[in-house]
Amino acid sequence: MLRLERLRDDHAPALLAFEQRNREYFARSVPDRGDAYFDEFASLLLARLAEQDAGVCHFHVVLDEHGDLIGRVNLIDVDEDGAELGYRIGERATGRGVATAAVAEACRLAAATYRLSALRAVTTLDNPASRTVLARNGFTPVGDITIDGRPGVRYRRRLDATR
């Protein structure tokens, strides 16, 4: 059983370790964060928490049944149209439905807690796992996009606070 927790400053050590441990794995499917991300992690985290406090983003960590941080799910660029969904699940947690469940919970929170009406997401064509997670969670393709020089798809999902 997994749970999403809203990002807090005390998540910092586990979040940094998660990002470092999975850096190479993530770079296979999404643009690498770069060395500056890790070098400036503490100040970047403070900036993210300030954005969250301002209501323009909602950041979450994904914890497994033991309380270990195994992923993150973020709702960024909140506006009148909703927010952009992004997620990362660590390599050791893949293939077990974690991403699908974490995105489902993020959709529920987006509607019920944050009162958002829709979510947007993007992924590359060469990331079939991500496309499957989005499809399983009711996202529909709405257009083509290029992400870091790779062809991709833009998705959208309308939200209902009762689901």
Mean pLDDT by 10 residues, the chain (163 residues): 95 97 90 90 96 96 96 96 96 94 97 96 93 97 93 96 57
The token pair that represents 25 in the structure block = 């794995």
Distance of CA 63 to the CA centre of its chain: 13
Task: Tell me how far CA of residue 70 lies from CA of 14, 15, 29, 64, in angstroms.
Answer: 9, 9, 17, 6
pLDDT of the residue at 4: 97
pLDDT of the residue at 161: 64
The CA dihedral of 105, 11, 132, 150, to the nearest 10 degrees, is 140
User: Would you kindly state where each structural domain of the chain is located, as residue ranges?
Assistant: 3-158
pLDDT of the residue at 49: 97
pLDDT of the residue at 151: 95
Q: Tell me which architecture the domain covering 3-158 has in CATH.
A: 3-Layer(aba) Sandwich (3.40)
